[in-house]
Amino acid sequence: MDATSIGWLALPLAILGGAIRVSTPFIFVSIGELITEKSGRINLGLEGTLMLGAMAGYAISYLSGSPWLGVLSAGLAGMAFGFLHGLLCSVKRVNDTAIGISLIVLGTGLAFFLGKPLIEPKAPPLPSIALGFWSSVPQVRAALDVNALFFVGIALAFAVYVFLNRTGCGLMLRTVGDSEDAARALGFPVLRVRIIATMAGGFLAGIGGSFLSLSYPGSWSEGLSSGQGIMAVALVIFARWRSINALGASLLFGGAGALGPALQGIGVTGYYYLFNAAPYILTLAIMVASTSRAAPFADAPGELKLHR
Amino acid sequence: MSSISGIEPVPSKPLGTAAQLSVALPVLAVLLASAIFAAFVALSGQNPATVFGLIVQGGFGSSFAWQDTLSRAAPLVLVGLAVAIPAQAGLVIIGGEGALVLGGLAGAVVTLPFAGVHALPMQLLMLLAGALIGGLWFGLAGVLRQYRGVNETISSLLLSYIGIAVFHHLTEGMLRDPASLDKPSTHPIDPSYMLPTLPGVGVHAGLAVSLLLAIAAHVVLRYTRWGFALRVVGGSARVARMIGLAVNRWILGASVVAGGMAGIAGAIEVAAVQGTANSSLIVGYGYSGILVAFLARHQPLAIVAVALLIGGMQASASLLQRRLGLPDATMLVFQGLIFVCVLVADAIAQQLRETTRR
């Protein structure tokens, strides 16, 4: 085995490679959720959007032969779903949690239904960039074989930071999310801003979904997502509604998620499922640690009804 | 909830046209959802009339179909109650799946040390173990909310995923029956401990358990001080404290009872259907429960009706697959559409009620 030649280094390398791979969909879906939440709404239905994006991306990549066209269509499909969520939640007195769950059901249903013929065919996958070219060790090469979307995700985190903190539109979004009254007094179109923010969130979640089917392992199946869309909500809380933090949190979650398979790779198999649950436990621990009845989330958008 | 002076249940008065609308709107919503679904089916090259015919036939068209529907409805009633009971106290707990699988696991292992004992106490023990573990799991979400200010919706979802991981860890590790090769399972329970079939119905006794619990929930919530106190807590924690209700205890109690319901659902699936705890328990009952509870507006008796409807729809999926080659997900699409339309109709009905009241 080659693993013996680099000894214990195999483990951190496997975690690193896994972290990069697992974190990519997290980056997109969490920054999408962040944009939506910054407008004062919460979209619990991104799990459905993610599956829809994974299916749409794979289908279009297969039909057109261009994976990037697939990514774009996944984003557009997600955006359409975001529009639906934004519209439905604009009805007064509607329960946004329940709408989120219903869109998970509808989104997964549509993805599974339309994706049925896609289980067999092979779509062209997204290209990856071999950053490990300098090394002759196969583990290093495998770990540093980074998908192009990962870099798009990193750029996105910084772009969203600039957008939120340095532009007029970003200020408008934050105002709408912090105080509806203030936004109305300033003449901002509150509903329209929220719908657009939910659409943007859906667009990014769709792209995150396309990574699931168009990158590793590069196929469409009904078990592609394991709750990444739902975890995005927790991730945004974890990141305290800051996009750069969301990037870091996604990497951390990816690393935690990669722990199980990585340990399995070096022969430690007993705790596979518990390590898989590490991101959930981590999120719960952070939520317990960072909130208390005396000092609720100081960084949460004011209109977000997440804590009481 | 206008008078709080005496803790008496206040029956809601019918409000003429508004009350009629609040019945008519959900019906319209289901019709609208059916119309959209018909269009969807037509677009995918099937005759909508045939599809609807098969749904009715596969869910309710024969005694075999009814048996399938009823045995699916049994756990749905319970996971629906698991969402509806905390909802009375203003909680949105949606992690029923975790409580269900852990409850099922508890039910599967609790009788293993006892062989050849009388069946009835063992069956009760299984349900009790499921209720206990499920209650504990939801209680955790209640504690985190009341004492740490953690949103119970998110924490219950996270706990659900953690519960499923613990379930896998135990069924594939410590508690695994080495004889279960392709599908890791716990040791099978003594066949004589399995829940019996209801005579004349052909469905397992778990159906009776879930119906009894739904009726009990209805009576308690509608006709007792407990139900009213819970609604006061849900209406306003401040008012509840003012009139001397121990809010934390009510919230915790509601969470534990709700988790118990989900846990019993899991134990029933083990004790009546599977005979062992394995990954067949994880089929999304917890999420269907959210759907059932919201469609029934958190009313226990309505939950029974909606569970029958959803159970029938899910039962018909295999017939659709066999006859028309439509994937299982077809019914998922239909359920999602109904869910969305009814939620929006409900919100509109609520608005109308408020405007006519003023």
Chain B positions in Cβ-Cβ contact with residue A277 (cut-off 8 Å): 161-162, 164-166
Query: How large is the average pLDDT for residues B292-306?
Result: 92
Band (pLDDT 50/70/90 cuts) for residue A77 is very high
Residue B275 has pLDDT above 90, yes or no: no
In a domain, A6, yes or no: no
Give dist(CA B287, CA A110) in Å, integer. 17
Q: B351 — contact with chain A (CB < 8 Å)?
A: yes
DSSP B273: I
pLDDT at residue A17, as a whole number? 83
pLDDT at residue A291, as a whole number? 63
Q: B352 — contact with chain A (CB < 8 Å)?
A: no
Helix (H) or strand (E) holding A128: strand A128-130
Residue B269 has pLDDT above 90, yes or no: yes
pLDDT at residue A4, as a whole number? 47
Band (pLDDT 50/70/90 cuts) for residue A5 is low
With H, G, I as helix, E, B as strand and everything else as coil, classify residue A302.
coil
**Cis peptide bond upstream of A217, omega within 30:** yes
State whether A103 and B336 contact (CB < 8 Å). Answer: yes
Query: How large is the average pLDDT for residues B352-358?
Result: 73
DSSP B40-60: HHHHTT--HHHHHHHHHHHHH
Band (pLDDT 50/70/90 cuts) for residue B3 is very low
With H, G, I as helix, E, B as strand and everything else as coil, classify residue B240.
helix
Tell me the residue type at B152.
Answer: E
Which of A94, A270, A293 has its CB closest to that of B173?
A270
pTM: 0.86
From first CA to last CA, the distance across chain A in angstroms is 55
In a domain, B303, yes or no: yes
Beta strand pairing call for A145-147 and A128-130: antiparallel
CB pairs under 8 A between A and B: 145
- Min distance B29 CA to chain A CA atoms (Å): 14
Cα–Cα distance list, B251 to A96, A262, B85, B129, B154 (Å): 22, 41, 10, 22, 16
In a domain, B30, yes or no: no
Residue B9 has pLDDT above 50, yes or no: no
CATH of the domain at B83: 1.10.3470
In a domain, B53, yes or no: no
Q: What is the number of structural domains in chain A?
A: 1
State whether B343 and A291 contact (CB < 8 Å). Answer: no
Return the residue in A88, A93, A97, A224 with the most chain B beta carbons within 10 A, the one to mutate for interface testing.
A93
Give dist(CA B202, CA B193) in Å, integer. 18
Q: Which residues, numbered 26 to 45 in chain A, qualify as contacts with chain B under a Cβ-Cβ cut-off of 8 Å? A: 44
- Range of A75-79, A139-143, A251-255 with top mean pLDDT: A75-79
In a domain, A212, yes or no: yes
Tokens 């045939």 sit at which residue? B50
pLDDT above 90 coverage of chain A, percent = 46
Query: What ipTM is given for this predicted complex?
Result: 0.86
Q: What is the number of structural domains in chain B?
A: 1
Give dist(CA A35, CA B135) in Å, integer. 36
Q: What is the 3-state secondary structure (H, E, C) of B15-31?
A: CCHHHHHHHHHHHHHHH
In a domain, B239, yes or no: yes
Band (pLDDT 50/70/90 cuts) for residue B100 is very high
State whether B335 and A104 contact (CB < 8 Å). Answer: no
In a domain, A245, yes or no: no
pLDDT at residue A297, as a whole number? 60
Asked if B259 and B81 touch (Cβ cutoff 8 Å), the reply is: no
- Min distance A135 CA to chain B CA atoms (Å): 37
Question: Residue A278: what are its φ and ψ, rounded to 5°?
Answer: -50, -45
Residue-range definition of the domain harbouring residue B94: 74-325
State whether A102 and B155 contact (CB < 8 Å). Answer: no
pLDDT at residue B6, as a whole number? 41
Residue-range definition of the domain harbouring residue A141: 25-234
- Residue of A82, A57, A55, A77 whose CA lies nearest to A67: A57
State whether A93 and B350 contact (CB < 8 Å). Answer: yes
With H, G, I as helix, E, B as strand and everything else as coil, classify residue B250.
helix
Of residues A7 and A98, the one with the higher pLDDT is: A98
Over the stretch B202-218, which tens digit does the pLDDT of each residue have?
A: 888 999 999 999 999 99
State whether B155 and A287 contact (CB < 8 Å). Answer: yes
Query: How large is the average pLDDT for residues A43-49?
Result: 92
Q: Which of A9-23, A166-180, B136-150, B263-277 has the lowest mean pLDDT?
A: A9-23
Residue B7 has pLDDT above 60, yes or no: no
DSSP B76-142: HHHHHHHHHHHHHTT-----HHHHHHHHHHHHHHHTTT--S--HHHHHHHHHHHHHHHHHHHHHHHH
- Range of A8-17, A71-80, A138-147, B59-68 with top mean pLDDT: A71-80
Over the stretch B107-143, which tens digit does the pLDDT of each residue have?
A: 999 988 887 788 898 999 999 999 999 999 999 999 9
Q: Which residues, numbered 196 to 255 in chain A, qualify as contacts with chain B under a Cβ-Cβ cut-off of 8 Å? A: 227, 230, 233-234, 237
Asked if A207 and A76 touch (Cβ cutoff 8 Å), the reply is: no
Helix (H) or strand (E) holding A80: helix A67-88
State whether A280 and B94 contact (CB < 8 Å). Answer: no
Of residues A141 and B47, the one with the higher pLDDT is: B47
Helices and strands (DSSP H and E) totals, chain A: 14, 2
Q: B159 — contact with chain A (CB < 8 Å)?
A: yes
Cβ atoms within 10 Å of A161's Cβ, excluding its own: 18
Residue of B nearest to A85 (CA): B340
Over the stretch B81-93, which tens digit does the pLDDT of each residue have?
A: 999 999 999 898 9
- Range of A125-139, A157-171, A211-225 with top mean pLDDT: A157-171
Over the stretch A185-211, which tens digit does the pLDDT of each residue have?
A: 999 999 999 999 999 999 999 999 999
Band (pLDDT 50/70/90 cuts) for residue B5 is very low
Over the stretch B157-188, which tens digit does the pLDDT of each residue have?
A: 889 989 999 999 998 888 888 887 788 888 88
Q: Which residues, numbered 283 to 312 in chain B, qualify as contacts with chain A under a Cβ-Cβ cut-off of 8 Å? A: 287, 290-291, 294
Q: A257 — contact with chain B (CB < 8 Å)?
A: no
Return the residue in A92, A280, A282, A290 with the most chain B beta carbons within 10 A, the one to mutate for interface testing.
A280
Beta-bridge partners for A128: A147
Give dist(CA B206, CA B70) in Å, integer. 10
Band (pLDDT 50/70/90 cuts) for residue A263 is confident
With H, G, I as helix, E, B as strand and everything else as coil, classify residue B198.
coil
DSSP A129-178: EETTTT---HHHHHHTEEEHHHHHHHHHHHHHHHHHHHSHHHHHHHHHHH
- Min distance B226 CA to chain A CA atoms (Å): 24
**Token representation of residue A57:** 């991306």
**Number of Cα atoms under 13 Å in the Cβ half of residue B66:** 6
Residue of A nearest to B158 (CA): A280
State whether A103 and B291 contact (CB < 8 Å). Answer: no
Chain B positions in Cβ-Cβ contact with residue A109 (cut-off 8 Å): 329-336
**Angle value at C-alpha B300, between B299 and B304, nearest 5 degrees:** 115
Residue B264 has pLDDT above 90, yes or no: yes
Give dist(CA B211, CA B208) in Å, integer. 5
Chain A positions in Cβ-Cβ contact with residue B330 (cut-off 8 Å): 109, 113
Over the stretch B215-225, which tens digit does the pLDDT of each residue have?
A: 999 999 999 99
Asked if A288 and B144 touch (Cβ cutoff 8 Å), the reply is: yes
Which of B150, B328, B333 has its CB closest to that of A291?
B150
Which of A97, A105, A288 has its CB closest to that of B150?
A288
**Angle value at C-alpha A308, between A93 and A286, nearest 5 degrees:** 120
Query: How large is the average pLDDT for residues B190-200?
Result: 86
Sequence-separated (6 or more) residues with CB below 8 Å from residue B290: A98, A101, B83, B94, B96
Give dist(CA B1, CA A152) in Å, integer. 53
pLDDT at residue A123, as a whole number? 84
Q: What is the average pLDDT value for chain A, to the nearest integer? A: 86
pLDDT above 70 coverage of chain B, percent = 94
Buried b (16+ CB within 10 A) or exposed e, A88-124: bbeeeebbbbbbbbbbbbbbbbbbbbbbbebeeeebb
Tokens 């829809």 sit at which residue? A52
Which of A98, A234, A277 has its CB closest to that of B154?
A234
Cα–Cα distance list, A83 to A12, A91, A295, B332 (Å): 41, 13, 34, 21
Tell me the residue type at A255.
Answer: G
Over the stretch B15-72, which tens digit does the pLDDT of each residue have?
A: 456 667 767 888 899 999 999 999 999 998 889 999 999 999 999 999 889 999 999 9
In a domain, B17, yes or no: no
Sequence-separated (6 or more) residues with CB below 8 Å from residue B277: B101, B104, B105, B107, B108, B109, B167, B171, B175, B185, B186, B270
Residue A212 has pLDDT above 60, yes or no: yes
Give dist(CA B69, CA B314) in Å, integer. 8
Residue A308 has pLDDT above 50, yes or no: no
Q: A192 — contact with chain B (CB < 8 Å)?
A: no
* The CA-based dihedral angle spanning residues B164, B168, B174, B180, taken in that order and rounded to the nearest 10 degrees: 140
Give dist(CA A117, CA A63) in Å, integer. 12
pLDDT at residue B174, as a whole number? 82
Q: A104 — contact with chain B (CB < 8 Å)?
A: yes
Q: B156 — contact with chain A (CB < 8 Å)?
A: no
Asked if B272 and B206 touch (Cβ cutoff 8 Å), the reply is: yes
Buried b (16+ CB within 10 A) or exposed e, B213-242: bbeebbebbeeeeebbbbbbbbeebeebee
Return the residue in A273, A276, A286, A308 with the most chain B beta carbons within 10 A, the one to mutate for interface testing.
A273
Asked if B78 and B265 touch (Cβ cutoff 8 Å), the reply is: yes
- Min distance B155 CA to chain A CA atoms (Å): 7
Which of A113, A227, A237 has its CB closest to that of B333?
A113
Return the residue in A37, A101, A297 with the most chain B beta carbons within 10 A, the one to mutate for interface testing.
A101
Exposed/middle/buried for residue A218 (C-beta within 10 Å: 0-12, 13-18, 19+):
middle
Q: Which residues, numbered 36 to 65 in chain B, qualify as contacts with chain A under a Cβ-Cβ cut-off of 8 Å? A: 44
Residue of B nearest to A106 (CA): B336
